[in-house]
Structure 1
């Protein structure tokens, strides 16, 4: 990110986001949870899901699309599983409590799985496997989302970006953490590009005639009008196996809707049949695996560490200096942002100042 953008210290940004949530009616402890999920995204260099998404929650709470107070209801439960209704509360709170529940079950019985319905956007999916990693476990998280991906040979946005997140501890400070959309790039990337006034790459998105489009704002506006769609991993058609991304997104949709009997596909658009806004009815699925039920944790960490070290040490392509493994770049970003703070682009500065003024958070003095 260009050095001319002003930077805000991590702690200041975290405190501001927490206070915005509190100002919107979110209970103090829940506000801290929501802010922690968002600041983790910024710290890890994921611009699309941190402070850049705060205005989304601010607007949705004010419009009544999601509830600031979270009613976390367990509606079905076994020793190793649970089904949760989030009642359109704060997605981050629902996500954290669900993963805590999965971890607790895994600690007692070896595995724990929690399916969620009627939730809202829960931030970066990778936050939740990190919780399991800290508990010495393997963690997984899945979520469906607003329609944006077209199925292979289609042009209509039907599936969400439907990320898959998987994390495992290693014998290094950096765990293995994969967190990726099942589209070529996530919806949030287009939000970032639109804020910066930059185009998307050809082949990421198409219009309703199947033609590639690169105007980020056009893509974002086109989702709700059936006029634009993201392409699944692999791209259009079958030549580069785009059907694999399409099928992976469908797997996530099943895990995030069928087990919990939640809504799916176009019912997640946030638009009612009469054209008015409505809740997004999102679903999630969380899993925690107790490693000690299979082998000693230290042995697992060593084996996993050896896997990623051997991958990094393999022969490099011409002109390439090194090979990375999942979560490594984000780990280094956390170290860097702790020193430098978070860069804030001009359009995001406007959103921050608007929320600050609306909630009278005059104690914050931003460098813009």
Structure 2
């Protein structure tokens, strides 16, 4: 059943504030999850809400921590996330990049001591809204087998890019370097569904449709050796450059509630106006996308879509239609309501 977006937002913000977050950070926290749900990326939406707060309750994430941001050169930043909430760390690091790039044209931040930040597209789309090209990668616990391997050694290590346009929505790439994000396995377990047999291996290195078996095995990299190589590069940026743990050293975030995450991020922005007037750039992007739209569709397709366009259209529809809350998520909301004394007496649409 679907529930009103603003009712979920209000409930979530009040719960996060009761859990110890500042209202500013709570609004970012909820906006990230709801942005994901609105775009039909349910694996990183409010299904994660209870898991984030469980880490706070077990003392392995500091809900009140603020990132320490150090400018090391005109266009470079080093950030210590202080083991804070990932949404707080990532949002404020991206804002620091945007502010820096207004002066220097480009800026990059290497972030350590961070935690799971949810939907990565949220941060790069913010940069695009500010007239910049945004880029962000992070590493995750080892969940993905390297190409040719039968055991997890790399994370899903997602990559996010956003590029503004004019009449079109921003081009948005937000992808795991595995065939699917780990969150889709977790959601399938929560909802009791099978998964496709090309998503993962079981603990014996065999393909499986059982999400529980997949959870103890390994995901597969997208595109075989190509996805494997990109995932490894991201681990190098986040561990070797930023100083986060490598994927093999990061605990499973929502299963291990005894250890801080130690995740690394690497992010950056390009201020388009320092290369070409922003309006001219948007006209060029629109012309390019017009050309893509003019491409004859293949059999079984209605049209060529700009990356992120399907999700943009979904977000417009879901703002009116509401967000899907399954029974397991509603149960978690009820637990949060009781624990933090915030009522959730909202009727489905």
Q: TM-score range by the shorter chain?
A: over 0.9
Q: Secondary structure at the match of 1:212?
A: coil
Which whole-Å CA distance do the structure 2 matches of 1:187 and 1:366 have between them? Answer: 30
Counterpart of 1:161 in structure 2 is 156
Q: Secondary structure at the match of 2:316?
A: helix
C-alpha displacement of 1:325: 1.6
CA spacing shift, 1:193–1:130, aligned 2, 3 Å: same
C-alpha displacement of 1:21: 1.2
Which whole-Å CA distance do the structure 1 matches of 2:226 and 2:168 have between them? Answer: 32
- Check whether the contact 1:170–1:176 (CA below 8 A) recurs between aligned residues: yes
Q: How does 1:53-92 map to 2 (within 5 A)?
A: 53-75=48-70, 77-92=72-87
Q: How does 1:203-352 map to 2 (within 5 A)?
A: 203-220=198-215, 222=216, 228-234=217-223, 242-270=224-252, 277-352=258-333
Which whole-Å CA distance do the structure 1 matches of 2:345 and 2:155 have between them? Answer: 36
- Check whether the contact 2:199–2:219 (CA below 8 A) recurs between aligned residues: yes
2:140 is aligned, of 145, 152, 155, to 145
C-alpha displacement of 1:195: 2.2
For the pair 1:124 / 2:106, whether they are aligned, the reply is no
Worse-matched range after superposition: 118-127 or 294-303 = 294-303
Q: Secondary structure at the match of 1:148?
A: coil
Residues 135-156 of structure 1, C-alpha deviations (whole Å, 9 max, x = no match): 1110011111111111111111
Which whole-Å CA distance do the structure 1 matches of 2:70 and 2:283 have between them? Answer: 39
CA spacing shift, 1:69–1:276, aligned 2, 3 Å: closer
Q: How does 1:94-133 map to 2 (within 5 A)?
A: 94-133=89-128
Counterpart of 1:3 in structure 2 is none
- Check whether the contact 1:270–1:277 (CA below 8 A) recurs between aligned residues: no
Q: Secondary structure at the match of 2:241?
A: coil
**What's the TM-score once normalised by structure 2's chain length?**
0.95
- Check whether the contact 2:86–2:117 (CA below 8 A) recurs between aligned residues: yes
- Check whether the contact 1:195–1:345 (CA below 8 A) recurs between aligned residues: no
**What's the TM-score once normalised by structure 1's chain length?**
0.91
CA spacing shift, 1:276–1:178, aligned 2, 3 Å: closer
Which whole-Å CA distance do the structure 1 matches of 2:300 and 2:69 have between them? Answer: 53
Structure 1: gaps spanning 5 or more residues: 1-5, 223-227, 235-241
Worse-matched range after superposition: 140-149 or 202-211 = 202-211
Residues 182-226 of structure 1, C-alpha deviations (whole Å, 9 max, x = no match): 001110111222222111101110023321011112222x1xxxx
Q: Secondary structure at the match of 2:119?
A: coil
- Check whether the contact 1:133–1:169 (CA below 8 A) recurs between aligned residues: yes
C-alpha displacement of 1:304: 1.4
CA RMSD of aligned residues (A): 1.7
Counterpart of 2:186 in structure 1 is 191
Q: After TM superposition, what 4+ stretches of structure 1 lie above 6 angstroms from structure 2?
A: none
Counterpart of 1:239 in structure 2 is none
C-alpha displacement of 1:173: 4.3
- Check whether the contact 2:75–2:108 (CA below 8 A) recurs between aligned residues: yes
Residues 81-130 of structure 1, C-alpha deviations (whole Å, 9 max, x = no match): 11111111010010110000101111000001011001011111101111
- Check whether the contact 2:139–2:263 (CA below 8 A) recurs between aligned residues: yes
Which whole-Å CA distance do the structure 2 matches of 1:95 and 1:276 have between them? Answer: 21
Which whole-Å CA distance do the structure 1 matches of 2:277 and 2:115 have between them? Answer: 37
Which whole-Å CA distance do the structure 2 matches of 1:120 and 1:262 have between them? Answer: 10
Counterpart of 2:337 in structure 1 is 356
